[in-house]
Amino acid sequence: MDLILWRHAQAHDALPGCDDLSRALTHKGEGQAARVAAWLDRQLPQSTRVLVSPARRTEQTAKALGRKFKMRDELVPASSADEVLDLLKWSADTGPAHKGAVLLVGHQPMLGQIAARLLGLNEQACDIRKGAVWWLRSRIKGHEPDAQWRTSLLTVISPDLI
């Protein structure tokens, strides 16, 4: 399974009394989302499932890709890595339940915690920058009965480098 983690692009700061989920992308963020989306569209398999946080800034980021996506409450800013891995039916013992590719459009620190956990790092070790993509691939390594799921980092793309 390929798990692609895309942090929303740059958004306006929260105003006092404003709902965090309603924060929109800045003009710079719109450009970041468009550049990364163009790169992703060339790389992603057509069958990629796209799951998006219900926050406005993540929806705007995902819309730049021009593909169908599903909004999932499990991806709100306060979500934990455990909640998202449960959504994906991803077990530490058996790995992912599905094959193919899944693109998650979400928030820090949750996306970084997922990356760190799957790569066997400290959960504070992965800081996914605004608009960036981390592409992970999990495969079974070894032979039964010693086979284990291994996750590797295929690439990291920053909007500033595209």
pTM, full prediction? 0.93
Predicted local distance difference test score (pLDDT) of residue 40: 98
The CATH number of the domain where 108 resides is what?
3.40.50.1240
Total structural domains in the chain?
Answer: 1
CA distances in angstroms from 137 to 38, 55, 71, 119, 152, listed in the order given = 21, 26, 23, 10, 5
* Residue 88 resides in a domain: yes
Task: Please write the tens of the pLDDT for every residue from 130-149.
Answer: 999 999 999 877 666 666 77
The dihedral over CA atoms of 145, 146, 148, 154, expressed in degrees to the nearest 10, equals -130
First to last CA, the chain: 25
* Residue 16 resides in a domain: no
Task: Please write the tens of the pLDDT for every residue from 44-90.
Answer: 999 999 999 999 999 999 999 999 999 999 999 999 999 999 999 98
Helix 56-63 and helix 27-43, axial crossing angle in degrees, nearest 10: 50
Which residues form the domain of 157?
Answer: 2-11+21-161
* Residue 149 resides in a domain: yes
